[in-house]
Amino acid sequence: MPASAATWPSGAAYIDGRFMPVGEAMIPVTEWGYRRSDVTYDVVSVWDGAFFKLDDHLKRFRASMEYFRLLPCESDEDIRGILHELVRRTGLHEAYVAMDCLRGSAPPNVRRHPSNARNYLLAFAVPYVWLMPREVIDRGAHLIVSSTPRIPEVCVNPRAKNFHWADMTKSLFEAQDKGADNPVLLDLEGNVTEGPGFNIFTVTNGVVATPNRGVLEGITRLAVIQLCEKTGLRCEQRTVSLAELREADEIFISSTAGGVMGVTRLDDRILGNDRPGPVTEALHEAYWRSRREGWCAEPIDYAQAEAAD
């Protein structure tokens, strides 16, 4: 479907059984998904008209819902169909596609307990979102080590995607105040966790490492680990100390919203020659080349778009 023929080229949404333009999507202010951040979500990307690793995203989304005891009426295959339909209705070939499961609120005259609240699905597709502007990605991100620690995983499990972003939001303001692009957060023991919307990797003496505790197990993170294996790079999933991060030869981050992105400054340190390093560049190229070649791709049939509700 050409973009000009798309039903809603600015974005499409699905809420609780209905499709609509994204600008009309809204939820009641009384819902606990809003009032209590009682919601889980996942985000999958579309590039060249195909979803990337959609099976992995759906599996993680279902695991997150089960962890938070959220159970919408839609099956995984229903959700797959909804996401395809959303992208078809936009006509977008590069898209950012989100799926949320929200807890509503307890009906009147029953105990105000989450077990009494109905769960429902919200999803939307909009033009592809980049974590950072393209010029920042090209020159490499400037990061700071946040003074705010990551919420401990014994309190909020980071492997189940959630809206508990108070630590991330505070850290984003700190990074902006210091003239940086993004923050990296540490755990209470001072080890590296993740940043707002991205996982972190170090490269030291040709060995790639990424934290395995206190982090979301990102799908792009998984793709990087798989690419390292395919290209013969050693990649370790383990504790990464702040000292190791500061002394690394290279640092890069991974996200659905941008793939593999280099880091060229950490606080006052300039890495390499202030440009993304060779291992970072190789993985960046391998990631986007693999996507262009159809690796883990699920094509969208744009001719199947249904009439809008």
Per-residue pLDDT of 184-193, as tens digits, reads 999 999 999 9
Give residue 260's pLDDT band: very low, low, confident or very high (50, 70, 90).
very high
Over residues 161-191, the pLDDT tens digits come to: 999 999 999 999 999 999 999 999 999 999 9
Per-residue confidence (pLDDT) for residue 305, from 0 to 100: 59
Strands 259-266 and 269-270: antiparallel
Per-residue confidence (pLDDT) for residue 6, from 0 to 100: 76
CA atoms within a 13 Å half-sphere pointing along the CA-CB vector of 268: 0
Question: Position 184: which residue type?
Answer: V
Over residues 20-48, the pLDDT tens digits come to: 999 999 999 999 999 999 999 999 999 99
Per-residue confidence (pLDDT) for residue 307, from 0 to 100: 43
The torsion angles phi and psi of 50, rounded to 5 degrees, stand at -145, 140
- Assessment of whether the complete model's pTM goes beyond 0.85: yes
| More reliable by pLDDT, 302 or 5 | 302
**Backbone dihedral region of 289: left (phi > 0), alpha (psi from -120 to 50 degrees) or beta?**
alpha
* Whole-angstrom distance, CA of residue 259 vs CA of residue 224: 9
Show the domains of the chain with their CATH numbers.
3-128 (3.30.470.10), 134-292 (3.20.10.10)
Per-residue confidence (pLDDT) for residue 153, from 0 to 100: 94
Q: Give the chain's mean pLDDT.
A: 95
Say if residues 131 and 261 touch (Cβ distance below 8 Å).
yes
Say if residues 209 and 240 touch (Cβ distance below 8 Å).
yes
Q: Which residues contact 273 (CB under 8 A, 6 or more apart)?
A: none
| Number of CB atoms found within 10 A of residue 239's CB | 15
